[in-house]
Protein backbone atom coordinates (compact mmCIF):
# COMPACT_ATOMS: atom_id res chain seq x y z
CA UNK A 1 0.00 0.00 0.00
CA UNK A 2 2.93 2.36 0.74
CA UNK A 3 4.31 1.75 -2.76
CA UNK A 4 1.06 2.92 -4.35
CA UNK A 5 1.03 6.13 -2.29
CA UNK A 6 4.69 6.73 -3.10
CA UNK A 7 4.09 6.24 -6.84
CA UNK A 8 0.97 8.41 -6.77
CA UNK A 9 2.80 11.19 -4.91
CA UNK A 10 5.68 10.98 -7.41
CA UNK A 11 3.26 11.17 -10.31
CA UNK A 12 1.46 14.17 -8.80
CA UNK A 13 4.72 16.04 -8.16
CA UNK A 14 5.87 15.28 -11.72
CA UNK A 15 2.56 16.50 -13.14
CA UNK A 16 2.79 19.70 -11.09
CA UNK A 17 6.35 20.36 -12.22
CA UNK A 18 5.54 19.61 -15.87
CA UNK A 19 2.28 21.52 -15.90
CA UNK A 20 3.22 24.63 -13.97
CA UNK A 21 6.92 25.01 -13.23
CA UNK A 22 8.06 24.12 -16.78
CA UNK A 23 6.48 27.32 -18.08
CA UNK A 24 8.99 29.33 -16.04
CA UNK A 25 12.03 27.60 -17.54
CA UNK A 26 14.67 29.85 -19.05
CA UNK A 27 14.40 30.64 -22.75
CA UNK A 28 18.15 31.29 -22.89
CA UNK A 29 20.21 28.76 -24.84
CA UNK A 30 21.32 25.74 -22.82
CA UNK A 31 24.86 24.36 -22.90
CA UNK A 32 24.52 22.56 -26.24
CA UNK A 33 22.81 25.51 -27.94
CA UNK A 34 25.41 27.92 -26.59
CA UNK A 35 28.25 25.69 -27.81
CA UNK A 36 26.61 25.34 -31.24
CA UNK A 37 26.49 29.16 -31.50
CA UNK A 38 30.20 29.65 -30.64
CA UNK A 39 32.07 31.30 -33.50
CA UNK A 40 29.10 32.96 -35.20
CA UNK A 41 27.75 36.49 -34.98
CA UNK A 42 24.04 37.21 -34.83
CA UNK A 43 21.81 40.19 -35.59
CA UNK A 44 18.91 41.48 -33.46
CA UNK A 45 16.56 38.88 -35.02
CA UNK A 46 18.94 36.08 -33.92
CA UNK A 47 19.95 35.30 -37.51
CA UNK A 48 23.53 34.29 -38.31
CA UNK A 49 25.34 37.20 -39.96
CA UNK A 50 28.91 35.89 -40.00
CA UNK A 51 31.52 33.59 -38.62
CA UNK A 52 31.58 29.80 -38.54
CA UNK A 53 29.73 27.60 -36.06
CA UNK A 54 27.93 24.26 -35.75
CA UNK A 55 24.55 26.01 -35.90
CA UNK A 56 25.09 26.70 -39.60
CA UNK A 57 24.68 22.96 -40.22
CA UNK A 58 21.31 22.84 -38.46
CA UNK A 59 18.50 21.16 -40.40
CA UNK A 60 14.77 20.82 -39.82
CA UNK A 61 13.99 17.82 -37.60
CA UNK A 62 11.99 15.00 -39.21
CA UNK A 63 9.42 15.22 -36.42
CA UNK A 64 9.32 19.03 -36.40
CA UNK A 65 5.68 18.96 -37.54
CA UNK A 66 4.55 16.53 -34.84
CA UNK A 67 1.85 17.63 -32.37
CA UNK A 68 4.32 17.86 -29.44
CA UNK A 69 7.20 19.62 -31.26
CA UNK A 70 8.99 22.58 -29.64
CA UNK A 71 7.73 22.00 -26.08
CA UNK A 72 4.13 22.80 -26.93
CA UNK A 73 0.93 21.51 -28.49
CA UNK A 74 0.15 22.59 -32.01
CA UNK A 75 -3.22 24.32 -32.20
CA UNK A 76 -3.16 25.79 -28.69
CA UNK A 77 -2.40 29.50 -29.07
CA UNK A 78 -1.88 30.23 -25.36
CA UNK A 79 1.85 29.57 -24.82
CA UNK A 80 1.50 28.84 -21.07
CA UNK A 81 -1.34 26.36 -21.64
CA UNK A 82 0.40 24.77 -24.62
CA UNK A 83 3.59 24.17 -22.63
CA UNK A 84 1.65 22.88 -19.62
CA UNK A 85 -0.42 20.42 -21.68
CA UNK A 86 2.70 19.19 -23.51
CA UNK A 87 4.52 18.68 -20.20
CA UNK A 88 1.62 16.81 -18.59
CA UNK A 89 1.20 14.68 -21.72
CA UNK A 90 4.91 13.84 -21.70
CA UNK A 91 4.82 12.85 -18.02
CA UNK A 92 1.76 10.64 -18.52
CA UNK A 93 3.26 8.92 -21.57
CA UNK A 94 6.58 8.37 -19.77
CA UNK A 95 4.83 7.07 -16.65
CA UNK A 96 2.66 4.71 -18.73
CA UNK A 97 5.59 3.33 -20.75
CA UNK A 98 7.83 2.99 -17.68
CA UNK A 99 5.06 1.43 -15.60
CA UNK A 100 4.23 -0.97 -18.42
CA UNK A 101 7.85 -2.07 -18.76
CA UNK A 102 8.19 -2.62 -15.01
CA UNK A 103 4.90 -4.54 -14.99
CA UNK A 104 6.13 -6.78 -17.84
CA UNK A 105 9.49 -7.35 -16.16
CA UNK A 106 7.88 -8.22 -12.85
CA UNK A 107 5.34 -10.51 -14.53
CA UNK A 108 8.10 -12.27 -16.45
CA UNK A 109 10.11 -12.70 -13.25
CA UNK A 110 7.13 -14.39 -11.54
CA UNK A 111 6.63 -16.75 -14.52
CA UNK A 112 10.30 -17.79 -14.44
CA UNK A 113 10.13 -18.57 -10.73
Residue-wise pLDDT tens for the chain (113 aa)?
Answer: 788 899 899 999 999 999 998 888 767 767 888 899 999 999 999 889 999 999 898 888 888 888 878 788 888 899 889 989 999 999 999 999 999 998 899 887 666 66
Element (H, E) at 51: strand 48-51
Distance in angstroms (rounded) separating the CA atoms of residues 13 and 11:
6
Do 112 and 51 form a contact (C-beta atoms < 8 A)? no
**Pick from 92, 93, 88: nearest CA to 19:** 88
Which pTM does this prediction carry? Answer: 0.69
Do 99 and 112 form a contact (C-beta atoms < 8 A)? no
Amino acid sequence: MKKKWFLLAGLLVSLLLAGVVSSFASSSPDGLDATARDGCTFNADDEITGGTCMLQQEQEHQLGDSPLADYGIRGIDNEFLSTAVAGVTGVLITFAVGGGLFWLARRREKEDA
